[in-house]
Amino acid sequence: MAFDREALQRRLDALSGNRRKKSATWRPTEGEDATIRLISFPDNDGQPFKELYFYYNIGNNPGLLAPYQFGDPDPIQELITKLRGDDARESYELAKKLYPKMRVYAPIIVRGEEDKGVQIWGFGKMVYQALLNIMLDEDYGDITDPLEGRDVKVTCTREAGRKWATTTVRPRGKETDLSTDKAQATGWMSEIPDPTAMYECKSYDELTKIINDWLNSDSEDDSMGTTMGGSSTKTDKTQKSSENSGYKSLDDAFADLME
């Protein structure tokens, strides 16, 4: 009986801790410009890019993939719902901090790095909105089209006094092919990585332990703690979770998550 070699390799990588998929990710370098070509995900309900949701403020975890978005039981989402039903302002503030954050993923070819094949770029809401506005502009249209699309200039800069760098995107002035080599373009289109395979979605029990450990951490002795089944929450977690995360931006956190 024939077997799926790629599926076996993925399983072996997972068992051995070998994250080969790390090489399939890209992020802009601060202070430099890059030119990329965006590619649409196939079979994605007509959407060019994929949205994933992560819990970000829970202890030192760089990001926890939210199971509810896949229709699976999710103890953190259950806690958020419980907190929202509480009239206390502290519960509202904690629920707001726990809300999952959207991360958007796009397959790209980085010009000058074509030998690396298709890479995955993860970005936030502002870049996402900018790209969608470009695609809805009649002067540009579908910039992901392999024959009539456009390359995009990506610039990452940090203004004086600002904590986070800002990423801007601008379409190039003329339409170009994804590749002048049709065989190469076809190959790229057929080997687009799945971003959901880049992250582990923890089980219900694992997430329950993570959230309970965080709510009742020994480092917050002066706070009122509880477990998921209790009636109270740590009200000062909202501020200290961000202070102790150690990450300057979501990009930094998700880069660490890919290690």
In a structure prediction context, what are the per-residue pLDDT tens digits for the chain, which is 259 residues long? 566 655 665 566 656 554 444 448 999 999 999 999 999 999 999 999 999 999 998 988 889 999 999 999 999 999 999 999 998 999 999 999 999 999 999 999 999 999 999 999 999 999 999 999 999 999 999 999 999 999 999 999 988 777 788 999 999 989 999 999 999 999 999 999 999 988 889 999 999 999 999 988 844 544 434 445 443 444 455 444 444 445 455 555 555 444 4
pLDDT of 158 reads 87
Calpha distance 13→6 (Å, rounded): 10
Q: What type of residue is 166?
A: T
Calpha distance 167→99 (Å, rounded): 24
In the three-class reduction of DSSP (H, G, I as helix; E, B as strand; rest coil), residue 157 is classed as strand
pLDDT of 72 reads 97
Per DSSP, the residues of 121-149 read: EEE-HHHHHHHHHHHHSTTT--TT-TTT-
Asked if 200 and 65 touch (Cβ cutoff 8 Å), the reply is yes
pLDDT of 235 reads 45
pLDDT of 247 reads 47
- pTM for the structure as a whole: 0.78
How far is CA 11 from its chain centroid?
22
Strand 101-110, strand 119-123: pairing: antiparallel
Q: To which CATH superfamily is domain 20-179+191-243 assigned?
A: Replication Fork Single-Stranded Dna Binding Protein (3.90.198.10)
